[in-house]
Every structure is written in C-alpha cells, then in structure tokens.
Amino acid sequence: MSESNSWTDQWFNAQQQFVDSWTDMANASNTSSQKSQADLWAQSFEMWRKASGNQPQPDIQQAINKCVNMGHEYFAMAEQVSKAMSGGANPVDAINQWMEQLKQSLQQFSSLPGFDINGVNDFMKQWFAPNQSWQQMTAAFTPMNQAAWQIPGMNASVFNMGETIDPLGKVLEAPGVGYFREPQEKQQRGIQLAIEYHQANHAFNQAFLKVAMESIQGFQGRLLRLDSDKTPKSLRELYDLWVEISEEHYAEFAMSAEYQTLYGDMVNRLMTLKKHYAEITDDMLRAMNLPNTAEVDTMQLRLQQVRRENIVLHKEIDEIKEVLSTQDAPTIEADTMQQELQQLRQENTVLRKEIDNIKATLSKSANGAPAAVVTSAAAKVKSRPATRKKAPAKKTVSKTAVKKTAAKKKTAVSKASKGA
C-alpha cells in the first residue's frame, strides 16, 4: 500500500507540475521558447509508469499505449491552439494560425527525404496512422524484406530524389556470370523488388500527404461556412470537428480509383518481394538438406486430401453401423429366411405329393417309363441346399438386395414347381 502511495504521490506531483506549466503558458505572451507541454506530459506519464512498477496484461498495456499516444496528440493540439490564443489572437485568427502551422509543417515534411513519421507535426500524426500501422504490420511478417533493406547505401531517402539518381547504378542490371550466376541474379532481383515495393509505399504515403494538406484547407473552409451556433466552442468540439472533416476527406480518397490502384500496387509488390525471398530461403534450406516451405506445403496439401477422404470413409462407416445397430437389418434378414423356408416347405410338400403319386403309379405298373420323371424331380430337390447356403453371406447387404434375393428364390421355386 505504501509503495502504491509512493508512486501515486509521484504521479500527482508530476501532474501538478503539468498544471502549473499550462497555467504559466496561458499567462505568458511569448511561449515560443517553452518546452512542449505535450512532451512534458508524456515524460511525466512515463516517469509515473516506471515508478508504479505495475506490469499490466498485454491487452491493457496496448490500450494504455494508445491512450498515451492519443493524449500526446490531443495535448499537442491544445498546446498549439492555446499558444496562438495566448499571443492575443481572437479565436478565429488563433485557429487559422494553427491551421497555417499545420500546413507549413506538412510542406516541410514533404520536402524531407524518406517518410519518417517523427518529422510530422505531433497533431497531424493522426493523418499518417494508416501508413505507420502499415509499416509496423509489414515489419512483423516480412523479415526478409527488412534484411534486404540493410544493404549499404540503401535507405528510404533515395525515393525522394526522383529520377535524378539511380540508387544502385547499373549494379542490378549486371548479368550474372559463372557458377553462382543464378543465386546472384536472384539476389539482384530481390533488391530490385525491394526498390519497387518501397517506391509503391512511397507513392501511397505521398498521396496521403496530399490529401492531408487538402483536409486542412477543407477544415478552414468548413469553419468559415458554419453557422455560429454550430461553431466549436471548446477544444474538444474543435477536435471532433477536425475528426469529422478529416474522415470525410479520407473517405473520398479511400473510395477513389487512385487509392485502389496505389493500395493494390503496394500490397502486390510487397507480396512479390516476400515471395521472392521465400523462394531464396527455400533454395538455401534445400542446399542444407533441410525441409523447406514448398515441401511442407506439399505435405500439408496431401494431408488435407487424406483427411477429406478419411471424413468420407468415417461417414460411410457410421451409416453402416447405424443400420446394423437399429435391429432393422437382422429382422429383415430373418424374415426373408423364414419366407424362404416356408416356400421350401410348401415346395417340399408338393414334391412329396408328386413322389407319392409316382410311387403309387409305379406300384400299379412295372413299366420303367416314368423313371425319367423321378430323376428329374430328384435332381431339382438336390440342387436347392446349395442355393440356400448363400443366404448368410447377404447379411450386410442393403434391404433392396435382400428383397431381390427373396424374389429370385420365389421365381426359382415357382419354376421348379412348374417343371415338376
């Protein structure tokens, strides 16, 4: 508890300094030499965070970071507007002065080599959040891209120099020679692809810069057109209006054919670059007799195919099991066998009757002519057990098959009767 009080005290002391600084700044007519209040706030926060010793959950840490970043940008706006107002300007002039500062800052930024977000006015950084988050995201899954970028002489600044220089001269066009010509050409191609990606990324960033500038003009224009009851009266309202207008300008840009082309090109070139380096990595792994991505992909594809077949087979087995477990199949089989047995019994009775008739005829006459009839009838009776033996083998066949078998038997019996 005492520890907690200790860092809480530190925090409130820092906050008191912050409040004092703001009050001083508001009272001062010339504030140009003062240190940024937004920076002071960020520093005091960082000091407090370290003193607290708390280790928040990753999700919470992420939220805190966003809070602090936004706080920093919001304070930057507040500071810039306040400075203009403390210089004696009326609100309209103060805000216009702020807008002009933002424009100037962007113009300066656009003339700098590369696209280092740290060079942007703190408040306008929000305009480049998409670009910044893109860099962070791609860096996470394109390590080869980063590695390629470490080549001496290569940095993002070359893309601001337009066509005046060729960053790597003719090096990338030099033909590969000798035993290692293929790896050499692949490396050259990789660097070429890295340049192409960064050019696409640069074009995307430059388009954002242009739209950001337009949004400032749009903001100034909107302020002039607003009815007096809708003009912002507080910093927060001013910020919300700025967000609304920026979002409108951004949406118009994001729905344009230009954005679609720039974004598509940037994504596609990044993927081409990454794919190329993945192939180079695969070559290296193959050379070391290690499994590579292509081989793992093949195995995964085959595995998935086997899994699909497996699922189908499992389903069929389950269906068969279900049929067997319902008692339905054995009952039908038993019924069929009973029917067959009944038919055979009836047939047997007929045959016995025929035999009795023949015997009676024979006993009346000593003539051997009817003997052929006896042989024929006996042969038919002998053939039946063989047919009956097949029945058990049909236990697992479908109901339809069982019915067909029964029908066949009936026909056979009927034919036998007729023959008799």
Partner 1 sequence: MSDFQFRSGQEVVDEVVQFNQNLSKSVKNLLDADEISAGVTPREEVYAEDKLKLYRYQPSAGVVQNRTPTLIVYALVNRPYMTDIQENRSTIRGLLDSGQDVYLIDWGYPDRADKYLTLDDYINGYIDRCVDVLRKRHNVDKVNVLGICQGGVFSLCYTTLHQDKVKNLVTMVTPVDCKTPDNMLSHWVQQMDIDLIVDTMGNLPGEMLNWMYLNLKPFQLMGQKYVSMVDVISDEKNVKNFMRMEKWIFDSPDQAGEAFRQFIKDFYQQNKLVEGGLMIGEREVDLKNLKTPVLNIFAEQDHLVPPAASKILPKLIGSKDYTELSFPGGHIGIYVSGKAQATVTPAISEWLNERS
Which single residue is written with the structure tokens 């030099």? 174
Q: How many CB atoms sit inside 10 A of residue 204's CB?
A: 20
Residue 81 near partner 1 by CB under 8 A: yes
> How far from chain centre, in Å, is Cα 379?
76
Residues 232-261 that bind partner 1 (CB under 8 A): 232-236, 238-240, 243, 246-247, 250-251, 254-255, 259-261
- Smallest distance from partner 1 to CB 77, Å: 10
Residue 275 near partner 1 by CB under 8 A: yes
Element (H, E) at 320: helix 293-325
Number of residues that bind partner 1 (CB under 8 A): 89
- Smallest distance from partner 1 to CB 264, Å: 3
Candidates 6, 13, 17, 54; binder of partner 1 (CB under 8 A) is 54
Which burial class, exposed, middle or buried, applies to 386 when counting CB atoms under 10 A from its CB (0-12, 13-18, 19+)? exposed
Q: Which stretch binds partner 1 (CB under 8 A): 157-165, 188-196, 271-279, 347-355?
A: 271-279
Dist. CA 412–CA 393, nearest whole Å: 19
Dist. CA 266–CA 256, nearest whole Å: 16
Residues 286-305 that bind partner 1 (CB under 8 A): 293, 296-297, 300-301, 303-304
Alpha carbon distances (Å) from 123 to 72, 80, 126: 8, 9, 7
Judged by beta carbon, residue 61 or residue 376, the one nearer partner 1 is: 61
Residues 204-223 that bind partner 1 (CB under 8 A): 223
Residues 307-346 that bind partner 1 (CB under 8 A): 308, 311
- Smallest distance from partner 1 to CB 233, Å: 6
Please, which residues have CB within 8 angstroms of residue 362's CB and are 6 or more apart in sequence?
A: 370
| 3-state DSSP assignment of residue 34 | coil
Site string for partner 1, 166-205 (x = CB under 8 A): ----------------------------------------
Question: Which tokens belong to 341?
Answer: 């047995």
Residue 71 near partner 1 by CB under 8 A: yes
Q: How many CB atoms sit inside 10 A of residue 137's CB?
A: 10
Q: Which stretch binds partner 1 (CB under 8 A): 179-187, 225-233, 362-370, 396-404?
A: 225-233
Site string for partner 1, 373-402 (x = CB under 8 A): ------------------------------
Residue 139 near partner 1 by CB under 8 A: no
Contact 75, 41 (CB under 8 A): yes
Contact 394, 333 (CB under 8 A): yes
Q: How many CB atoms sit inside 10 A of residue 348's CB?
A: 12
Residues 34-53 that bind partner 1 (CB under 8 A): 41, 45, 52
Residue 11 near partner 1 by CB under 8 A: yes
Q: Which amino acid is at 94?
A: A
Judged by beta carbon, residue 91 or residue 176, the one nearer partner 1 is: 91
Residue 264 near partner 1 by CB under 8 A: yes
